[in-house]
Amino acid sequence: MASIALETARPRRHGIPVARIILFILLGLFALVYLLPFFIMVITSLKSLDEIRAGNLVALPEVVTFQPWIDAWGKACIGLTCEGIHGYFWNSVKMAVPAVAIATLVGAFNSYVMTKWRFRGADIVFALILFGCFIPFQIVLVPMAQILGLLGLASSTSGLVMVHVIYGLCFSTLYFRNFYMAFPDELVKAAMIDGAGFFRIFFKILLPNSLPIIVVTVIWLFTNIWNDFLFGASFTGGGSQPMTVALNNLVNSSTGVKEYNVHMAAAIIAALPTLAVYVFAGRYFVRGLMAGAVKG
Amino acid sequence: MVSVPFTAPSVRQKSARYRLQEWLPRLVLAPTFLITVIFVYGFMVWTGYLSLSASKMLPSYEYVGLEQYTRLWASPRWYVAIKNLAIFAVLYIGISTVLGLLLAILLDQKIRAEGVLRTIYLYPMAISFIVTGTAWKWILNPGLGLEKLMHDWGWTSFSFDWLVNPDMAIYTIVIAGVWQSSGFVMAMFLAGLRGVDSEIIKAASIDGVTLPTIYWRIIIPIMRPVFLTAFVILSHLAIKSFDLVVALTGGGPGYSTELPATFMYSSTFSRNQVGVGAASAVIMLMTVAAIMVPYLYSEIRGGRRNG
């Protein structure tokens, strides 16, 4: 922890208060700017349409109504069906949970092999997998659509799970690899000498000690997969769409009155799962971002 | 693939069980390796071939050479997409970096509420771009949003029509993008600042160097690697930007906010030009590769040197 401020400020103590006040004002203003859009979403979702038209962006609702939330969940029209977003919300859950679980487990296993059972060419294999994390997915859209069609998985949640596992694997492999690189080889060797086998070492020694990186990987994958739009929009239609695609269809449908309050309620519902993860496990979320950005 | 040395104590005379353990690692890695070869590199080749084919509404495999690329670069829509990407990338990367650095420096002054403020600055990163786009579309809506607010507050001549103004709409995407990503840049710089040796700073301040000078002359130069990482990550995000445009402007008005990613998507799925779409995807891939490959190479090399 650097303690720059205190140490440098000490010789000039008389100048501190004014500088500190400006500092706090600046930080507070920025916090307001970052919070404002979410605040506006929340208050808009609690107003009636009439009140929205009569009032303005930041006016608090005079009469708080939860009707927009109820409508968004169960009645709003997406495409031709008017059953709200709840079905799409569950589509996203059914897509994200298995995809995250599979990609995490396979990534952990891959990394175990790459770091503790090194073989010639392991680095090249890793480099090949790693680059896959960063390709623009536009390059795979058409072939993937064709393959999903061939496999009979077009427009299905299982198809999306497969796609997300495939393109999530490289990140989980990357995260676990960096973590297992730092895991002491001596423990693994000692276990080998004691006669523990390939699987035993992984399940009894590495995996129980991997909780921090499991949390980071799960958060990263969950956020990315839940928030994905490109794959969802490209490979699904109608009732199998994930939440993000349904939200976009709801907001950008050109028919009927624009129910801004319902749109905002739906948008908040779409954001809630990842926001909850962020608020409760923010520390790990940041670490995940860092791990994705800076490799070792 | 024969007689590969393991770090495990491989004992030659051991039986089938040991032999199995020698092969297991590669067997375990094989599915992922195959998946990567097929679904990443195979698909690149596939799309690459499509970009050389006569594909229109559906993929076809009739070879036509560079015809689709000629068509792509003759398309005014693609020029708009490239121009927008240039504007968006420069502003998005530039503003996010400056803002992120500023926030990190402000937060690094021993603030008691640092944890709370950090959470506030970073939360947009957890939200989908579709949600962000929906929110900003509402805020920037000329009829009911910011403009109405200013009118209500008495500034009746205030006009803010960027969202529906073809010349300005791309800047609304910059605003929403910066709002979403600058907190992430802040987190990176904050981690970088925490890594700076406080002895250097102490020494400088004893010599009477002022705080701004210390930051400008000493700390920021030390953090050059963080700048590089931020640049790489942000440019990668910029090139891939798709959701935000779809949610905020839908590429419009007209096609004034088209980006390469939305161009590829609309060519392929709604304008029956799969070949042109593939050509644009190949160009996107090459742009990303030009930035990522040297970066990843140096990161892997650097990691090996340190480890």
Is the Cβ pair A120, B124 closer than 8 Å? no
Within a domain: A26: yes
Largest interatomic CA distance in chain A? 77
Sequence letter at residue B257: T
Task: Specify the pLDDT at position A95.
Answer: 94
Within a domain: A73: no
Which residue of A20, A33, A34 is the best one to mutate when testing the B interface, meaning the one whose CB has the most B CBs within 10 A? A34
ipTM: 0.85
Of A91 and B299, the one with more pLDDT: A91
Task: Specify the pLDDT at position B260.
Answer: 92
Shortest Cα–Cα distance, B81 to chain A (Å): 15
d(CA B137, CA A2): 41
Tokens of A199: 């699987």
A187 and A104 within one domain: yes
- Residue ranges of the alpha helices (H) in B140-273? 146-152, 169-194, 198-206, 211-213, 220-222, 224-240, 243-248, 260-269
Task: Specify the pLDDT at position B303.
Answer: 56
**Domain span at A264:** 86-293
Chain B residues with beta carbon closer than 8 angstroms to that of A247 = 130-131, 134
Is the Cβ pair A230, B243 closer than 8 Å? yes
Of B88 and B144, the one with more pLDDT: B88
Smallest Cβ–Cβ distance between B202 and the set A7, A132, A248 belongs to A7
A113 and A58 within one domain: no
Sequence letter at residue A51: E
**CATH code assigned at A103:** 1.10.3720.10
Of A101 and B202, the one with more pLDDT: A101
Tokens of B102: 């500023």
Sequence letter at residue B274: V
Task: Specify the pLDDT at position A239.
Answer: 82
Instruction: Examine the pLDDT at A258 and tell me if it is beyond 70.
Output: yes
Chain A residues with beta carbon closer than 8 angstroms to that of B47 = 139-143
Using the Cβ of A29 and the Cβ atoms of chain B, whether some distance falls under 8 Å is answered with no
Instruction: Examine the pLDDT at B282 and tell me if it is beyond 50.
Output: yes
Is the Cβ pair A41, B211 closer than 8 Å? no
Task: Specify the pLDDT at position B191.
Answer: 84
Task: Specify the pLDDT at position B46.
Answer: 92
The mean of the pLDDT values for chain A is 85
Summarize pLDDT for A12-35 with one digit per residue, the tens: 455 568 888 888 899 999 999 999
pLDDT mean over B2-16: 49
Which residue of B130, B199, B222, B259 is the best one to mutate when testing the A interface, meaning the one whose CB has the most A CBs within 10 A? B130
Instruction: Examine the pLDDT at B307 and tell me if it is beyond 50.
Output: no
pLDDT mean over B123-144: 88
Instruction: Examine the pLDDT at B188 and tell me if it is beyond 90.
Output: no
A55 band by pLDDT with thresholds 50, 70 and 90: confident
Q: Which of residues 232-261 of A touch B (CB under 8 A)?
A: 233-234, 244, 247-248, 251-252, 260
Is the Cβ pair B293, A131 closer than 8 Å? yes
B99 band by pLDDT with thresholds 50, 70 and 90: very high
A90 and A52 within one domain: no
Q: Which of A194-208, B30-44, B182-196 has the highest mean pLDDT?
A: B30-44
Instruction: Examine the pLDDT at B112 and tell me if it is beyond 60.
Output: yes
Within a domain: A169: yes
pLDDT mean over B101-119: 87
Within a domain: A289: yes
Q: Which of residues 150-209 of B touch A (CB under 8 A)?
A: 152, 179, 183-184, 187-188, 191, 193-194, 196, 198, 201-202, 204-205
Of A272 and A77, the one with more pLDDT: A272
Task: Specify the pLDDT at position B206.
Answer: 85
Within a domain: A157: yes
d(CA A29, CA B277): 43
Is the Cβ pair B240, A27 closer than 8 Å? no
Question: Closest Cα partner for B90 from B177, B163, B165?
Answer: B177
- Residue ranges of the alpha helices (H) in chain A? 4-9, 16-45, 49-54, 67-74, 86-116, 122-132, 141-150, 157-181, 185-193, 198-200, 211-227, 230-235, 243-252, 260-293
Inter-residue contact A122 to A283 (CB < 8 Å): no
- Pick from A133-147, A229-243, A247-261, B2-16: least confident: B2-16
Summarize pLDDT for A223-240 with one digit per residue, the tens: 999 999 999 999 988 788
Task: Specify the pLDDT at position A16.
Answer: 62
A136 and A48 within one domain: no
The pTM for the full model equals: 0.87
Using the Cβ of A60 and the Cβ atoms of chain B, whether some distance falls under 8 Å is answered with no
Shortest Cα–Cα distance, B281 to chain A (Å): 5
Which residue of B34, B44, B138 is the best one to mutate when testing the A interface, meaning the one whose CB has the most A CBs within 10 A? B138
Inter-residue contact A271 to B131 (CB < 8 Å): yes
Instruction: Examine the pLDDT at A285 and tell me if it is beyond 80.
Output: no
Task: Specify the pLDDT at position B17.
Answer: 64
Task: State the sign of the Cα–Cα–Cα–Cα dihedral A190, A194, A198, A200.
Answer: negative
Sequence letter at residue A24: F
Instruction: Examine the pLDDT at B262 and tell me if it is beyond 90.
Output: yes
Domains of chain B, each with CATH number or no CATH: 1-50 (no CATH), 68-306 (1.10.3720.10)
B278 band by pLDDT with thresholds 50, 70 and 90: very high
Task: Specify the pLDDT at position B11.
Answer: 46
Task: Specify the pLDDT at position B89.
Answer: 93
Within a domain: A76: no
Q: Which of A7, A34, A65 is the last residue of a domain?
A: A65
d(CA B21, CA A205): 17
Chain A, nearest residue to B145 by Cα: A57
pLDDT mean over A274-286: 83
Chain B residues with beta carbon closer than 8 angstroms to that of A40 = 135, 138-139
Q: How many residues does chain A have?
A: 296
A227 and A98 within one domain: yes
Using the Cβ of A66 and the Cβ atoms of chain B, whether some distance falls under 8 Å is answered with no
- How many independent structural domains does chain A possess? 2
A195 and A59 within one domain: no
Summarize pLDDT for A112-141 with one digit per residue, the tens: 988 888 777 778 888 888 888 889 999 999
Task: Specify the pLDDT at position A280.
Answer: 84
A111 and A58 within one domain: no
Using the Cβ of B135 and the Cβ atoms of chain A, whether some distance falls under 8 Å is answered with yes
d(CA A260, CA A68): 9
Instruction: Examine the pLDDT at B193 and tell me if it is beyond 70.
Output: yes
A175 and A100 within one domain: yes
A165 and A24 within one domain: no
Within a domain: A245: yes
Task: Specify the pLDDT at position A122.
Answer: 79
Of B302 and B95, the one with more pLDDT: B95
Within a domain: A74: no
B272 band by pLDDT with thresholds 50, 70 and 90: confident
A40 and A90 within one domain: no
